[in-house]
Amino acid sequence: MAIEVRIPTILRSHTGGAKVVEGTGDTLNDLLSDLDARHPGLRGRLVTDDGGLHRFVNVYVNDEDVRFLGALDTKLSDGDTVTILPAVAGG
């Protein structure tokens, strides 16, 4: 069993248009590296050069925003669902 990842429209250029992809990893960081091997560029849209999560996206593991779970160090288990949404914010 793997981890299901929901991809928003704006990032589907990295997944060949796929809305849902699967990956594996013990942490969110591992998962994003795993995904990037098959979907090049995806990780770069989510993680900054400094190694933090980009503020332009919300990433959830199941029902929780990973900002409250440990960000990229958030632990994952088989069967989890990761949802990526573009942050809606502005001035």
Partner 1 sequence: MSIVLSIGRSILDAIVAHARRDHPDEACGVVAGAAGSDRPTRHIPMQNAARSMTFYEFDSKEYLRVWREMEERDEEPVVIYHSHTATEAYPSRTDISFAGWPEAHYLLVSTRDAERTEIRSYRIVDGVVTEEPVRVLDAPVDPHAVQSYMFGQSPASVDYECPAAS
Cβ neighbours of residue 70 closer than 8 Å, sequence gap 6 or more: none
CA 23, 19, 89, 64 torsion-angle sign: negative
Options 57, 69, 71, 72; binder of partner 1; rule CB under 8 A: 57
Options 9, 16, 17, 49; binder of partner 1; rule CB under 8 A: 9
Count of alpha carbons within 13 Å of 54, Cβ hemisphere only? Answer: 15
Q: Is 8 in the site for partner 1 (CB under 8 A)?
A: yes
Give residues 70-89 in contact with partner 1 (rule: CB under 8 A).
83, 85-89
Q: Footprint of partner 1 on this chain (CB under 8 A)?
A: 8-10, 56-58, 60, 63, 65, 67, 83, 85-91
